[in-house]
Amino acid sequence: MTNPRYLEIDEVLNDLKLALDRQQPFSLIRIGDGENLILSQDTVWPIEKVLQERWAVKANLGQKGLFLPNTELRDAVAEAVRKATISGILPYDDESIKAPTYMKRELTDQVFAHYALSPPLTCHACLNRYLAQTPAFWDMLKDRRILLVTRTAAEVKPVLEAEPYGLHIAHTLAFHQYEQMHETLQWITSHQDEFDIALFSCGVNAVVLAQKTAELTGKVGIDFGKAINIVMFGKAN
């Protein structure tokens, strides 16, 4: 990657607020071990190697919202990185996620080199977790219409509508599997006048959904990931 600008949380919040206030497209996506593995399919790793990884085994047991191999999702994630406003990536020697070292920043560098990806703005891949614990983030969302897209949307909605959050959840979509991607994007496009910001917590699928939402609707799309668990249970995992 050619020296991207690394943003701290305050700078991300500032950019996010500007996009919301000016009603401009904005997408925050994040590349962790799962995204790295998706991007590595038959690019930097043979598919046989990918399928042996614990993450891939869990995916094929139905635990990750997708099944492997999936080269269509691989290419969609690469396109999302190319077009996203801000891409979260893991720092070198990161300890914030539980994954083998070779599946973290090392692999990000390899797949980014393969696809010639060089995001202009980056931040920490776990920024979503910091956002969930930052009152300024929730304050910023207070007067916005929010679209919530996650497997447990019906359970999360009342929590976010109650104190201390007090948000206006305009719509919820229960997203379980990659196969819902097309119909979900169709729904989002046809209801784009009914929300200001979309929060996606649906694994690797969220990367594509967040970026595509910004591109197709001109709204804000956030890959919110396990931050939704902080809202519900007080911790990410």
Whole-prediction pTM:
0.97
Query: Is the residue at 237 inside a domain?
Result: no
Three-state secondary structure along 61-121?
CCCCCCCCCCHHHHHHHHHHHHHCCEEEECCCCCCCCCCCHHHCHHHHHHHHHHHCCCCCE
Query: Is the residue at 16 inside a domain?
Result: yes
Cα separations in angstroms, 223 against 108, 110, 116, 179: 17, 22, 22, 18
pLDDT at 237 (0 to 100): 77
Query: Is the residue at 12 inside a domain?
Result: yes
* CA 54 centroid distance within chain: 21
pLDDT at 10 (0 to 100): 97
Residue range(s) defining the domain that contains residue 131: 5-232
Query: Is the residue at 114 inside a domain?
Result: yes
Query: Is the residue at 44 inside a domain?
Result: yes
Provide the domain count of the chain.
1
Beta strand 86-89 pairing with 168-173: unpaired
Query: Is the residue at 95 inside a domain?
Result: yes
- Tell me: the pLDDT tens digits for 176-215? 999 999 999 999 999 999 999 999 999 999 999 999 999 9
Query: Is the residue at 180 inside a domain?
Result: yes
Beta strand 197-201 pairing with 168-173: unpaired
What confidence tier does 229 reach under pLDDT thresholds 50, 70, 90? very high
Query: Is the residue at 80 inside a domain?
Result: yes
Three-state secondary structure along 9-31?
HHHHHHHHHHHHHHCCCEEEEEE
